[in-house]
């Protein structure tokens, strides 16, 4: 639309120069005013809608390219306004290029036929027909339409190729992310579950020892979460994806807390793709919330829930421990203030702490805020 608009503007400036150079002719001025009015209406609508509607393309071609030249040929009969390639006739060139860009090929062909027929009809009506000028005009009409069609095809083709390249890049990135997640899970299974089973099978430890049973419980919880991630991969992700980078970061925080003796019951649902910095910030804030449960809540059990929402992600860390009066401790200590609130705010998110003495604590993390 911008290109055809500039083309029309050039034709209008040329027309204004021709009309101003001639002796004052009210009929020529009226014709130019009509062309300007139709052009303004057509391109103003195009700016509002992002493209020129087809009906206005036909209006432009019908009025500026056909009706006004015929009216000038009948009412004026001679002079620059009715020349075969004069200022009024060239408005058909920009009308044809707009048709090429906006209409389907059949509509474009019909529009070009009407514009050509109009030029031939005007040539028959005017008092002094100019065959050379007519041929020049028709060749210019064909050339401008052909060049615009070729340019428009090239631009659309490049757009299609660019879209395909972006889709392939996204697919490749998703495949790399899935492979990285699988590799991370394989490494974690090797270092935890497989190592524990191998040690027990070798007979080197007492399988009934409390430390071994605690480790088995932690690793069983990890396996349950891994199965849950496979069954519930989230929106627009294949079942084999095994979670998202955000889930992987949260899982690392859970496993770190479990390694220090805290039992964490974690659930994930439709966790979306997050920017790496955001995933790290959310996981670090969740890790600090779990550390606070272990250090201050007086309980060895915590609950972590991560849910994808329409806007982003919500993570909740809850416990049923001693709790505290959040109203009497604004900021809730250095850990929550710096490691939770400030970290989430820096990533564009927010944190909220709800706690009462004897009723436990709930830390809610939201991204975006």
Q: For the domain that residue 294 is a member of, what is the CATH number? A: 3.30.565.10
Q: Which SS3 state, helix, strand or coil, does residue 130 take?
A: coil
Distance of alpha carbon 170 from alpha carbon 127, whole angstroms: 65
128, 146, 165: which is the final residue of a domain?
Answer: 165
Q: Average of pLDDT values for 78-90? A: 84
Statement to judge: residues 133 and 229 lie in one domain: no
- In this structure, the answer to whether residues 25 and 155 fall within a common structural domain is yes
Q: Is the pLDDT of residue 209 over 80?
A: yes
> Which pLDDT score is estimated for 288?
92
335: pLDDT confidence band, cut at 50, 70 and 90? low
| Whether residue 226 is found in the same domain as residue 161 | no
Does 206 fall in a domain? no
What value does the mean pLDDT take over residues 144-157?
90
Cα separation of 333 and 352, whole Å? 13
pTM over 0.75: no
Check whether residue 330 and residue 231 sit in a common domain: yes
Regarding whether 225 and 116 lie in a shared domain, the answer is: no
Is 355 within the bounds of a domain? yes
Q: Is 148 inside a domain boundary?
A: yes
State the DSSP string of 175-205. Answer: HHHHHHHHHHHHHHHIIIIIHHHHHHHHT-S
Q: Tell whether 236 and 99 lie within a shared domain.
A: no
Together in a domain, 6 and 99: yes
Residue 258 is assigned to a structural domain of this protein: yes
Same domain assignment for residues 237 and 296: yes
The residue segments making up the domain with residue 280 are: 216-367
| CA distances in angstroms from 55 to 15, 49, 50, 89, listed in the order given | 25, 13, 15, 21
Count: domains in the chain: 2
Task: Based on the fold, state whether residues 158 and 42 are members of the same structural domain.
Answer: yes
Query: Are residues 99 and 32 both part of a single domain?
Result: yes
Q: What is the pLDDT of residue 241?
A: 41
Cα–Cα distances in angstroms (integers) from residue 230 to residues 244, 282, 314, in the given order: 11, 22, 20
Residue pair 348/367 in contact (Cβ under 8 Å)? The answer is: yes
What's the rounded mean pLDDT across residues 98-114? 90
What is the model's pLDDT at position 236?
47
How does residue 166 score in pLDDT terms, banded at 50, 70 and 90? Answer: very high
Half-sphere exposure of 213 (CA within 13 A, CB side): 3
- Whole-angstrom distance, CA of residue 100 vs CA of residue 54: 11
* 318 domain residue, yes or no: yes
Residue 208 lies in a domain: no
Judge whether 337 lies within some domain.
yes
Residue 188 located in a structural domain: no
Nearest to 252 by CA among 177, 192, 194: 192
């Amino acid at each position: 639309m911008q290109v055809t608009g500039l083309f029309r503007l050039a034709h209008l400036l040329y027309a204004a120069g021709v009309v101003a150079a001639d002796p004052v002719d009210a009929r020529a001025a009226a014709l130019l005013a009509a062309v300007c009015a139709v052009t303004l209406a057509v391109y103003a609508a195009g700016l509002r809608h992002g493209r020129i509607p087809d009906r206005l393309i036909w209006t432009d071609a019908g009025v500026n390219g056909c009706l006004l030249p015929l009216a000038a040929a009948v009412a004026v009969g001679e002079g620059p306004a009715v020349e075969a390639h004069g200022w009024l006739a060239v408005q058909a060139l920009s009308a044809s290029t707009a048709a090429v860009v906006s209409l389907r090929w059949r509509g474009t062909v019909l529009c070009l036929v009407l514009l050509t027929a109009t030029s031939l009809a005007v040539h028959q009506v005017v008092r002094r027909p100019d065959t050379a000028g007519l041929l020049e005009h028709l060749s210019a009409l064909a050339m401008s339409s052909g060049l615009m069609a070729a340019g428009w095809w090239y631009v659309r083709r490049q757009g299609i190729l660019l879209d395909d390249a972006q889709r392939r890049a996204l697919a490749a990135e998703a495949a790399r992310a899935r492979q990285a997640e699988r590799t991370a899970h394989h490494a974690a299974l090797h270092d935890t579950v497989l190592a524990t089973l191998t040690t027990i099978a070798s007979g080197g430890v007492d399988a009934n020892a409390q430390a071994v049973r605690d480790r088995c419980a932690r690793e069983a919880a990890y396996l349950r979460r891994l199965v849950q991630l496979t069954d519930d991969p989230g929106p627009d992700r294949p079942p084999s994806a095994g979670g998202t980078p955000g889930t992987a970061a949260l899982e690392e925080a859970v496993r770190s807390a479990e390694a220090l003796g805290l039992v964490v019951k974690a659930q994930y649902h439709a966790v979306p793709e997050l920017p790496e910095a955001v995933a790290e910030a959310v996981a670090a804030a969740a890790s600090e919330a779990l550390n606070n449960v272990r250090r201050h809540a007086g309980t060895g059990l915590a609950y972590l829930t991560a849910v994808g929402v329409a806007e982003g992600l919500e993570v909740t860390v809850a416990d049923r421990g001693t709790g505290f009066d959040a109203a009497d401790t604004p900021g809730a200590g250095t850990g929550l203030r710096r490691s939770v609130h400030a970290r989430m705010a820096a990533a564009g998110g927010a944190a909220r702490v709800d706690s009462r003495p004897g009723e436990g604590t709930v830390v809610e993390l939201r991204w975006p805020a």
